[in-house]
Chains A and B, each alone.
Chain A
Amino acid sequence: MIRFENVTACYTKDTGIFNLSFTILKSDMVFLMGPTGAGKSTVLRAIIGDIPINSGKIFIDDQEIPRSNSRKISYFRRKVGTIFQDFKLIKNKTVYENIALPLRITGTPGKIIREKVYEVLKQVDLTGKEKSMPLQLSGGEQQRVSIARALVSEPLVILADEPTGNLDPIVSDDIIDILEKAAQNGTTVLMSTHNYPLIRPRQKRFIELNKGYLIQ
């Protein structure tokens, strides 16, 4: 599902990712491990075309990700659900409006949006919170909204960039449970974290990076 072929994306001579190659299969949940500055976020940003890659190729579902055409990149990003450590919710929109946003972007009819949003709210256990504003929610709830927004368009892949970084261990565990369930339902999940104790009990495959290089 996700394939890196000798990918290099560097900001300076020493920072970035260098000559990375790996493959993640469909419905897999894989953790991207490594200390701060290892290049975990760079891998995720390279997949969604948020940073340019210097060499190599990245494939999702056997399609190479576009590099330069901003319109193609936009359409490509719709296949990917992204979750961020800082949630990136739009503060003056309700939970419902935030979750509906990816569907608004694709021009989905209102009735279908309503059905999908309520369905995904149930999945992340936020039923009844649809009219709340993001700042009225706890950190864990905001992250659930972010996950719901990533899930609502039924993407092929979910990329989660340190989604538990700001959360306490119990809430973090709940978040990983939701992502694991998404993987069981057929979505490929790639989650970056530096919290090894959190993911150890999950018995999942992980890819370890250090200073931008893959540790075999």
Chain B
Amino acid sequence: MFRKFIFLLSESVKALSRAKIPALISSITIAITLFIFSIAYYSLTNMIGYSHDFKRKYRIDVFFSPEVEMKQGMELFNTILLIDGIEQGDFVDREDAAVEFQRLFNYDVVEIIGENPLPFGGKYEIDKSYRKAREMGKIVNEIRLIPGVDLALFSTGLIMRIDKIIGNIVGIGFIIGIGIFIISVILVSNTIRLIIHAKQDDIHTLRLLGATDLFIKFPFVMEGILQGVIGAGLSILAITLLKSILYYILGEFQFVILEPVMLVSGNIVAGCLLGIYASYRSISKYLL
């Protein structure tokens, strides 16, 4: 079995080396597909990461009514903490509010007015799974209905815009990716089809000599896999190059573009699957 495998593997390599140009074109197309998918994946990961950090800064600010005193304020604060989607929060008493006021407007409110008129309130951070404009809107509406709450605010427009940008990037990336994926499958299938046509007589001879279907088909599947692996190698090379350029340009800028193990294994597995699918498509169509 192992001897047969080695023989068939060497046959696949020989067949590919005889069809260098089509095999190279297919491998490059696979590389482009994998490169786009990898970049899309890492861009999305980075973007979602940044948007989460971004949204964290635009948490929900709640202001209680002026007549709410400390004890009732604490109770209100705790009631809001129990709402689904609230991850954690900071209670803001009047002193904290005055400090915040001074930070924002550079005036001491007590000095100007003679007393502290600022209300109690809270700053709430939202759970990751609720960090979408619609979900956050629902939470804010729920908070507003609680007696004693005067105002509940978050940056709706900004967050909606971020959600929309991410949605568009995912959608466009998906469409482009699918388009290039289809082109890759067609090109690899076509290369295998060319090899099958060129070897039609040899295949018939092999059958007459007693070769099983597996013996005949296996080299073509291997050719697809090899093209996938070559494509994955090219893609990994391109991403590594891109990573070096990005580090050079962006310096210490924090981004998670590469996890080497995942990048290498992901690309190779995806390349192999693409190659297997494309060669299977050709074999089942043209090798009867």
Residue A70 lies at the interface, judged by CB distance under 8 Å to chain B: yes
B210 close to chain A: CB less than 8 A: yes
Most buried by A among B205, B213, B215: B205
Tell me which residues across on chain A come within 8 A of B215, comparing CB atoms.
Answer: 105
B209 in the interface, Cβ–Cβ < 8 Å?
Answer: yes
Contact present for B205 and A88 (CB under 8 Å): yes
Q: Check B4–A74 contact: CB distance below 8 A.
A: no
Whether A71 sits at the interface, judged by CB under 8 Å, is yes
Per-residue interface assignment for chain A, residues 96 to 118, with 1 indicating a CB less than 8 Å from any chain B CB and 0 otherwise:
00000110111111100000000
Residue in B7, B18, B208, B211 whose CB lies within 8 Å of A50? B208
- From the candidates A71, A102, A107, A109, name the one contacting B209 in the complex (CB within 8 A): A102
Neighbouring A residues of B213 by C-beta, 8 Å? 70-71, 74
Contact between chains at B211 and A74 (CB < 8 Å)? yes
Distance in Å from the Cβ of B199 to the closest Cβ of chain A? 9
CA distance A107 to B204 in the complex (A): 19
Cα A50 to Cα B209 with chains together (Å): 11
B4 touches A82 (CB 8 A): no
Q: Please, how many angstroms separate the alpha-carbon atoms of A77 and B209 in the complex?
A: 6
- Bound form: Cα–Cα A37–B208 in Å: 22
Q: Which of A77, A82, A105, A149 has the most CB of B within 10 A?
A: A105
B212 contacts A74, C-beta separation under 8 Å: yes
- Whether A102 lies near B202 (C-beta < 8 A) is no
A133 CA / B205 CA spacing, docked (Å): 17
| CB of B207 within 8 Å of the partner chain | yes
Say whether A105 contacts B206, CB under 8 Å: yes
Residues of B within 8 A of A104 (CB): 4, 7
Query: Which chain B residue lies CB-closest to A98?
Result: B205
Complex CA–CA separation, A70 to B3 (angstroms): 23
Q: Which residue of A lies closest to B204 (CB)?
A: A88
Contacts of A75 in B (CB 8 A): 210, 212
How many A residues have CB within 8 A of the partner chain? Answer: 24
Is A90 part of the contact surface with B, judged by Cβ < 8 Å? yes
Q: A48 vs B206: C-alpha distance in the bound complex, in angstroms?
A: 13
In the bound complex, residues from chain A placing their C-beta under 8 Å from that of B250 are: none
Residues of A with C-beta under 8 A to B204: 88
Residues of B within 8 A of A71 (CB): 212-213
Q: Count the B residues whose beta carbon is within 8 Å of the partner chain — how many?
A: 19
Asked if A92 is at the interface (CB within 8 A of a chain B CB), the reply is yes
Q: Which residue of B lies closest to A48 (CB)?
A: B208
Asked if B1 and A101 sit within 8 Å, CB to CB, the answer is: no
CA distance A78 to B206 in the complex (A): 11
Does chain A have a CB within 8 A of B201?
A: yes
CB contacts (< 8 Å) of B208 on chain A: these are: 48, 50, 77, 82, 88
User: What residue in chain B is nearest A79 (Cβ atoms)?
Assistant: B210
Question: Least Cβ distance of A80 to chain B in Å?
Answer: 8
Binary B-proximity of A45-83 (CB < 8 A = 1, otherwise 0) = 000101000000000000000000011001111100010
- B3 adjacent to A92 (CB under 8 Å): no
Q: A92-B18, A110-B3 are in contact. Are A105 and B211 (CB under 8 A)?
A: yes
Residues of A within 8 A of B206 (CB): 101, 105
C-alpha spacing A171/B18, complex, angstroms: 34
Q: Which residues of B contact A78 (CB under 8 A)?
A: 209-210
A88 and B18 CA atoms in complex are apart in Å by: 20
Question: What's the minimum C-beta distance from B223 to chain A, rounded to whole angstroms?
Answer: 15
What are 11 pairs between A and B in contact, CB < 8 Å? A70-B212, A71-B213, A75-B210, A78-B209, A78-B210, A88-B208, A101-B206, A105-B206, A105-B210, A105-B212, A109-B3
Can you list the 6 inter-chain pairs with the closest CB atoms, starting with the nearest? A78-B210, A77-B210, A88-B205, A74-B212, A107-B4, A105-B211
Given contacts A90-B205, A104-B4, 16 further A-B contacts (CB under 8 A): A70-B212, A74-B207, A74-B210, A74-B211, A77-B209, A82-B209, A88-B205, A90-B202, A92-B14, A102-B210, A105-B209, A105-B210, A107-B3, A108-B3, A109-B3, A110-B3
